[in-house]
Amino acid sequence: METNSREALQADFDAFGISDELGFLLEEPLTHLPDYYRVWLDMANNLTHLIESRKLRDLVHKMPELSPHLLSNHRELRLAHLALGFISMGYVWQEGQQAPAQVLPKALALPYWLVSRRLGLPAILTYADSVLCNWKLKDPAGNMEMGNMDLIFSFPGGESCRGFFIVSLLVEMAASSGITGALEVMHAMKVSDLIGIQKGLVKVTQSLKKMKETFKLMHNHVDPTAFHGTLRIFVSGWRDNPMLPRGLLYEGVSNEPILLSGGSAAQSSTLQCFDVLLCIQHEDETGAFLTRMREYMPPAHRGLIETLSVCPSLRDFILRHSISDLSQAYNTCVSALVDLRNYHLNIVAKYIILPGIKVRTTGCPMSGVGTALNTSGAGGSNFMVFLKSVRNATQKALIL
């Protein structure tokens, strides 16, 4: 029985692109592509300097139009998507929010679109790019910890840029055992294995607590002024963005501008998996937004959320059986998710709300990022309303 369950879990890991130790992180991301694509990697590797010296747009205008046909596997496609995403964000926002580019040139837009189509991802820098596959180890023999990790590509913002993406990555890594726990609950439900369900929920709870503790590293490695004033613009998209109200025109792809959201934690497959597992109901605009964010996840990861969503309701199962230990395990898990979401609200207040108030009161936008982004998350949502709605919906799932 135990052997069969291990085999079932391994089949799930393979089908949904999951690692037992790393969760949804891409294992051993590539840092090199075939030499034909050197111009992309040279530009992406030098991106911070090119943006700060205002030279990136000129270089993009001169770049050759390359075909993605030599990209032969998933890791190569992910690196190409990452590089083209960083270049595109830098190109659009090089001059700050007051002068975004309205058109992405064909030599960048067309290969980016074709790579995106092969991956089943949109042609914009997603959370799956900047967090899940934008990492490397300084010492390949060392551990995956803050001091031994670096980004493959970076934006202006120095250590705060590295800290923001690496801490987000470590939070995702802390979720790995919880994803395994969610799968264990799913399989235990099929055979009404009450002990298996309880053990799986305990794993999810422990994982959520570890995620919150890891999230606290943000305070040590990300400066609020640098995040709000420098980095944040470069993860902003062109949907629900007053600076690009019509979207961005992808030259050679479409005759009309395209609306796409920037990367945000709403695109985390991990959190949506836990929501679906615990039967947390996000309604109206919040629910619609979260459902739309699934389009920004790798198809295999999205597949896990969809698989969990069509399973019998865990909450209803627990209510039917009226077993106090099971109800308690469920409530403890939901409460841990509420705690994580409350902590996320505190982080948002420190890194976005308070610096935004400072900008408005001094009347001096930092590094060209003014009030337009102060109430809107990178994904385009009014984030405080959104995050409170998500937190409140989580609390409502508690079994009283």
Look up the pTM and report it.
0.94
Could you give the 3-state DSSP secondary structure of residue 282? coil
- Return d(Cα 60, Cα 63) in angstroms, integer: 5
Nearest to 347 by CA among 158, 135, 168: 168
Closest CA to 41 of 130, 156, 153: 153
How many folded domains does the chain comprise?
A: 1
Cβ atoms < 10 Å from Cβ of 213: 12
Full pLDDT tens readout for the chain, 400 residues? 454 578 888 999 999 999 999 999 999 999 999 999 999 999 999 999 999 999 999 999 999 999 999 999 999 999 999 999 999 999 999 999 889 999 999 999 999 999 999 999 999 999 999 999 999 999 999 999 999 999 999 999 999 999 999 999 999 999 999 999 999 999 999 999 999 999 999 999 999 999 999 999 999 999 999 999 999 999 999 999 999 999 999 999 999 999 999 999 999 999 999 999 999 999 999 999 999 999 999 999 999 999 999 999 999 999 999 899 999 999 999 999 999 999 999 999 899 888 888 877 765 443 333 334 445 555 544 778 889 999 999 999 999 9
The candidate with the shortest Cα–Cα distance to 199, out of 178, 214, 213, is 178
Query: Is 344 assigned to a binding site?
Result: yes
What's the CA dihedral at 300, 302, 304, 308 to 10 degrees? -160
The two tokens of residue 182 are: 């969610």
Return the CATH number at 384: 1.20.58.480
The residue segments making up the domain with residue 310 are: 1-397
> What own/partner pairs with CB < 8 Å and gap ≥ 24 does 209-212 have?
209/336, 209/339, 210/174, 210/175, 210/177, 211/171, 211/174, 211/175, 211/178, 211/340, 212/336, 212/339, 212/340, 212/343
